Amino acid sequence: MTDCASEPTSIDFAIIGGGAAGFFAAIACSEALQTGASNKPRILILEKTGHPLAKVLVSGGGRCNVTHACFDPAQLVQSYPRGAQALRGAFTRFQPADTMDWFEKHGVALKTEPDGRVFPASDAAQSVVGCLHEAAAQAGVELWTHTGAKEIRKTDNLLAPFLLRLQPGRSSEGQPPHPASLAVRYLLLATGGEAGGFRLASELGHPIQPPVPSLFTFSIPDQRLEGLAGLSVQNAALKLCAEGGSEPHLPGLEQSGATLITHWGLSGPAVLRLSAWGARWLQARGYRARLMINWLGVTPTESMLVFLRQYKENRSNARQKVAAHNPYHNIPLRLWKRLTQAAGIEEQHNWGDLSKPALSRLAEELTRGSYQIQGKGPFKEEFVTCGGVQLDKINFKSMESRLVPGLYFAGEVLDIDGLTGGFNFQNAWTTGWIAGTNIAQKLSNHL
């Protein structure tokens, strides 16, 4: 990069990526530095788009699920299909209680919903975005939009070991043009799960776990579900199986919870958790697998069959139509009718007329229904990727590279992903805070 016409601009701490992790690292670093204006290190966020914090703004349906009210690190890490072991220690240094305290001290009132999800009391993600922008500005953090890193080169300069060549961008109105290159003392990659960040990390010697989608819905064309979009079952139990029927011995491939029928198949918290834990397993099979559904949660088939026999033998039920009289109020009637049809029970059949084989088929349909997954949902729900910079080359006490001194990582660029419920943002806050405060400590030694 000797083709630059002018000397590179010196930056003490540069962050590539203007998302949650990048902003939080920059703010944490500046707030941890007890310095006057005359010797304040220069901290810069580079955002290649014109919309920093864009993902924060649209997260949680525009409400921004800031974190999850789980304050035991050992329990908290159970919501991370990848990265749990690495995050265990990190959460002892900065966890959801610290996140909530930070935002409330910076003027964002929070509320905790019954399921543990934490949102701004305003129910507006703009409250979080505005807070981060204001905190960064007050801390003296610089933000350059429309400016990405084209290339990073390691140099022998101990005071600025990273030379960044920037992608052409444009400055804010009234500001001078951005330089073509930067000489950086400490560098943080917080690019999220996008290919450009993985490329930069790889060029600096870091191995990358190939990214695949996580947190997605299932495409299941099935007559039992057609026309029922919008119906949900609050506590269905789901299990992934290979197409041949074998059941994988992997953690997380059985999930229970709310399940939503969509125009293309299934969604809802249980499905999203299942897709997260099975992200690589499903990707390796081309998103084709068998899904076993117990619409009644953990109720075994045998117990269900006993109940159905007793229900049939009750005189008050004997003359009732099976399709019209559903003994399970958690299963919507329209879905119940489809399941009875799938069990071969005609609409005119009474409970008292059901044969033992028909009862057995109904019990199986309710507790062991087999559905064929034929792909991911047609819309891009997956905000999260599984994959990224391999974790064994990162020191999670500082978020510094074990391969390249002065290089740090935070957020989704790492091979870490959490379930829905605020866990992915907590990864961003925690790793960003650890990186920022560690860099602040090093910068303070140079002042």
Are 70 and 148 in the same domain? yes
Statement to judge: residues 388 and 307 lie in one domain: no
Residue 63: which CATH number?
3.50.50.60
Q: 418 pLDDT exceeds 60?
A: yes
Q: Which of 243, 265, 292 is the last residue of a domain?
A: 292
Name the band, by pLDDT with cuts 50, 70 and 90, for residue 284.
very high
Q: Are residues 74 and 146 in the same domain?
A: yes
**CB 309 within 8 Å of CB 352:** no
CA distance 371 to 352: 29
Q: Are residues 134 and 31 in the same domain?
A: yes
Contact 142, 43 (CB under 8 A): yes
Is 87 part of any domain? yes
**pLDDT for 11:** 97
Which pLDDT value is given to residue 446?
Answer: 77
Task: Indicate if 345 and 414 belong to the same structural domain.
Answer: no
Q: For residue 71, what are its two tokens?
A: 């304050």
Rounded to the nearest integer, the mean pLDDT of the chain is 93
Least confident of 156-160, 239-243, 418-422: 239-243
Please give the tally of structural domains in the chain.
3
Model confidence pLDDT, tens digit, residues 149-185: 999 999 999 999 999 999 876 655 556 678 999 999 9
State how far the Cα of 35 lies from the Cα of 443, in Å rounded to an integer.
11
Q: In DSSP terms, which residues pair with 414 in a beta bridge?
A: 389
pLDDT of 125-150, one tens digit each?
999 999 999 999 999 999 999 999 99
- Asked, for residue 267, whether it belongs to a domain, the answer is yes
328 pLDDT band (50/70/90 cuts)?
very high
Domain final position from 260, 292, 324: 292
- Picking from 272, 292, 312, the residue at the C-terminal end of a domain is 292
User: Cα angle vertex 98, ends 410, 136, to 5°?
Assistant: 60
* Residues 305 and 287 occupy one common structural domain: no
Is residue 228 domain-shared with residue 197, that is, in the same domain?
Answer: no
Nearest one of 291, 430, 390, 398 to 82, comparing CA atoms = 390
Q: Which of 193, 232, 256 is nearest to 389 (CA)?
A: 193
Mean pLDDT of 434-441: 98
- Same domain, residue pair 158 and 24: yes
Containing structural domain, residue 108: 9-213+383-446
Structural domain contains residue 391: yes
Q: Tell whether 71 is covered by a domain.
A: yes
Say whether both 229 and 288 belong to one domain. yes
Please report whether residue 127 resides in a domain: yes
pLDDT at residue 385 above 90?
Answer: no
Backbone angles phi and psi of 246, in degrees to 5? -70, 145
The pair of structure tokens assigned to 327 is 């003994």
202 with 223, same domain: the answer is no
Does residue 2 fall inside a structural domain?
Answer: no
Q: Are residues 109 and 146 in the same domain?
A: yes
Q: What is the pLDDT of residue 343?
A: 97
311 confidence band (pLDDT: 50, 70, 90): very high
Provide the pLDDT for residue 292: 95
Domain membership of residue 432 (yes or no) is yes
Answer whether residue 382 shows pLDDT above 80.
no
Residue 287 has a pLDDT of: 95
For residue 378, being part of any structural domain is answered with no
pLDDT band of residue 383 (cuts 50, 70, 90) is low
Residues 273 and 209 in one domain: no
pLDDT of amino acid 381 = 47
CATH number of the domain enclosing 352: 1.10.8
Confidence of residue 196 (pLDDT cuts 50, 70, 90): very high
Residue 29 CB burial class (10 angstroms; 0-12, 13-18, ≥19): buried
Query: How far is the C-alpha of 205 from the C-alpha of 203, rounded, in Å?
Result: 5
What confidence score (pLDDT) does residue 172 get? 54
For the ranges 16-20, 68-72, 129-133, 156-160, the lowest mean pLDDT is seen at 156-160
Residues 338 and 229: their CA atoms lie apart, in Å, by 13
pLDDT in the model for residue 3: 44
Alpha carbon distance 118, 225 (integer Å): 33
pLDDT digits (tens, 9 = 90+) for 361-372: 999 999 999 999
Does position 36 have pLDDT exceeding 70, yes or no?
no
- List, for residues 286-307, the tens digit of each pLDDT value: 999 999 999 999 899 999 999 9
